[in-house]
Structure 1
Amino acid sequence: MGKISEIMLLKQPEHAALVVEVQTDMQGMPKAIGENFVAIDTLFKEQNEITTDIPFVEYPEFENLNEQNIRMIIGLKSSEKLQGKGNIRSIIVPERKILYCLHRGNYNELAALYNEMMGWIKANGYQGTGTSIEYYYTGPDVPEEEQVTRVEMPLK
């Protein structure tokens, strides 16, 4: 199916999050993402807090990813700065401009959306930071063609 919203330029307010940075390969991604979402959610519960958005995975330098070398920042947003623990860090993401779009379909189809968003950035005189963030509206139990993902690209 592909893109299910227009590509939009938004101003994202400052927000807090709990995150874990992971280096893995393509086969290790599902396990790394799943285990770390659970660990972060557990830390939220220990602090009697709830997340303010759906789970996300940030891909720093996404244009340089390959199947053997994937750097991810896995996280959940919070309403205020929480305490980190172990390899879970508490961060504040500053206010920023982002490019935003919703996608429906399997993850392999996201490349076309990424290309379209990067084209939009160039055509409209913006510069990307080299980072992309994916928010997962559906879980792994949903058929691939029904997966819904929000893609954000922070801008300089």
Structure 2
Amino acid sequence: MFATGHHNGMNGGQEPAPKYFYYRVFEEGLGLYVRNQFAPDKSLGRVDERRVFPKTVAIFKRAVAKHENISLSRVAKLLFTPEGSDAPEAAQITTADPSAPGASIQNPFLIVLSKVVDGVADIVMSQEDEHLAAYEGRPQGWVDIQPSSSSETSVYREVTPTVS
């Protein structure tokens, strides 16, 4: 026989409290940039961990770009620490360990946006992306500004539409 309203008693039948990934966004040459601020620290943003699946750097970057309403192509780097290097796209992230990068207010991820000059954002595409773009045709709005036959990367600019 089944009882209605039965729960396992582990958390009083309530949903567990949401967990968040915390971040600060810096724009090259301009400093802090967070549109969706999280009080009490106005330079801090947060994303519900349920919006990041699977929990990798690449998916987190996409979630922040969507949450902050910025182009994913502007998300140049994600750093685990201020003095750290760019985190690998496939790196796993977690909120299970409060001392893990991004899992607490005290240890947020640092996201660096590429600089925008006159409505144009510089980004760097990997050689693999270059081959894909050549195969599929250039994405609309992209202009090759530094063709490279000898280096491993080519620089492109994304034209950002301006509102008149």
TM exceeding 0.5? no
TM-score tier by shorter-chain length is under 0.3
Higher radius of gyration, 1 or 2: 2
Q: RCO (CA 8 Å, sep 6+): is it higher in 1 or 2?
A: 1
Determine which structure has the larger helix proportion and give its number. 1
Determine which structure has the larger strand proportion and give its number. 1
